[in-house]
Amino acid sequence: MTKDATPATNAPFGTVFADFMATAAFEDGAWSEPRLHEIEHLSVHPGTHVLHYASSCFEGLKAHHGPGDTVGIFRLPAHVARMQRSATALQLPVPGEQMLTRMITDTVAANRDRVPAAPGSLYIRPTLFGTMVNIGAVGVPISRATLYILCSPVGDYFAGGLRPLRIAIETETPRTTPSFGDVKAGANYALALGAVLAAKGEDHADQVLFAPGGEVHETGASNFILISPDRVVTPRLTGHFLEGVTRDSVLTLARDLGYEVEERLVTIDEVLDWAKTDGNEAALAGTAAVLAPVGTLIYKGEDVQVGDGAVGHHTRRLRAALTDIQSGVAEDSHGWLTPIG
């Protein structure tokens, strides 16, 4: 199948790139015809808008190898729609659904021989940012922008493969501002970085669970889900955190498998209580993380083991239900894969 799957998927997530990208520019009120080309450096003026005012958003989705030589993109329309919402929230020119979809499928087709075999995949990173050269442009429409699609063959997001993660609970600093929680904006990551680095240092944590005022939102780059032998519980969508496509996929598959699914207010008190029961599990859901088990929560400097602290049976089961669809082992009963011809 893929000659170079091993080197790419062993490298740290996101550090290896496939050769081809697609680019379109917004100028004079219209998008240019997208161009498919080999990766090239960008040359920007130091006064470029995004460098000063963070006018940038992105998406993250994956193409997977299926049976035979098939390749499919997972939940492409959902990611296209979210990128349009992010662009709208940031007052950036909104790429049309057809153009954006076509740019993504064309880029994946061009990089087809760089899609690693499962469990690897081709991570796709559409990126949009403001390019007018004007450092006074703080209260005017973003009249010029660039959109490109970059691809990276990937393996596991968290180094060390499927292992129980350590997640530090943060109840004071929110991840972002309330109005931008559900926008996939680069600036959100800058806002969260201080808390994430502090937790990695002090608590040897892999990530932070942001729960401002005790209300659970999500971690730095994935949604948070509680799992028991018969129930799946996760915070309801409030606009304060990202509406993850993986979250939605896992909830859908959980319902298919007969779990009772609850989307509601989840507090840190409940999470700490949940952790005490043997057989209870917790996991992070996101395109990059897939469904990653949480073994330990760190609250006020103390370790709190989740269930038995190991990779839980139900987390494995739900993760397999998801990855089996992505790799074509199971039937794509929800029509989530867009085949690449």
Ligand X SMILES: *Cc1c(COP(=O)(O)O)cnc(C)c1O
Helix (H, G, I), strand (E, B) or coil at 91: coil
286 part of the interface to ligand X, by CB under 6 A: yes
Among 184, 217, 314, 319, binds ligand X (CB under 6 A): 184
Other beta carbons less than 10 A from residue 178's beta carbon: 13
242 part of the interface to ligand X, by CB under 6 A: yes
Spell 258-295 as b/e; 16+ CB within 10 A means b.
Answer: ebeeeeeebebeebeebbeeeebbbbbbbbbbbbbbbb
CB 35 to ligand X: min, Å: 26
Within residues 300-339, the interface with ligand X by CB under 6 A covers none
Q: By C-beta, is 79 or 144 nearer to ligand X?
A: 79
Among 121, 287, 296, 338, binds ligand X (CB under 6 A): 287
Show the beta-strand stretches assigned E in the chain: 20-27, 30-31, 35-38, 56-58, 61-65, 71-74, 121-130, 145-154, 165-170, 207-210, 218-219, 223-227, 231-235, 260-264, 281-286, 290-299, 302-305, 337-339
CB 83 to ligand X: min, Å: 11
Measured distance CA(208)–CA(175) in Å, rounded = 9
CB 300 to ligand X: min, Å: 24
Among 84, 223, 315, 327, binds ligand X (CB under 6 A): 223
Question: How much is the CA Rg of the chain, to the nearest whole Å?
Answer: 20
289: DSSP letter: T
Q: How many residues appear in the chain?
A: 341
Q: Pick the closest to residue 319 from 160, 116, 162 (CA basis).
A: 162
CB 287 to ligand X: min, Å: 3
Q: By C-beta, is 107 or 223 nearer to ligand X?
A: 223
Q: By C-beta, is 132 or 150 nearer to ligand X?
A: 150
Q: By C-beta, is 218 or 281 nearer to ligand X?
A: 218
- The phi and psi torsions of 189 (rounded to 5 degrees) equal -70, -35
60 part of the interface to ligand X, by CB under 6 A: yes
Q: By C-beta, is 233 or 242 nearer to ligand X?
A: 242
Stretch binding ligand X (CB under 6 A), from 83-91, 195-203, 225-233, 281-289: 281-289
48: DSSP letter: B
Which residue do the tokens 């989740």 mark?
306
Q: What is the Cα 37 distance to its own chain's centre?
A: 25
Q: By C-beta, is 182 or 281 nearer to ligand X?
A: 182
Among 218, 268, 307, 312, binds ligand X (CB under 6 A): 218
127 part of the interface to ligand X, by CB under 6 A: no
Tell me the number of residues near ligand X by CB under 6 A: 14
CB 229 to ligand X: min, Å: 24
State the virtual CA torsion across 17, 18, 24, 25 in degrees, nearest 10.
20
Q: By C-beta, is 235 or 286 nearer to ligand X?
A: 286
Which residues make up the interface to ligand X (CB under 6 A)? 60, 184, 218, 221-223, 242, 244-247, 285-287
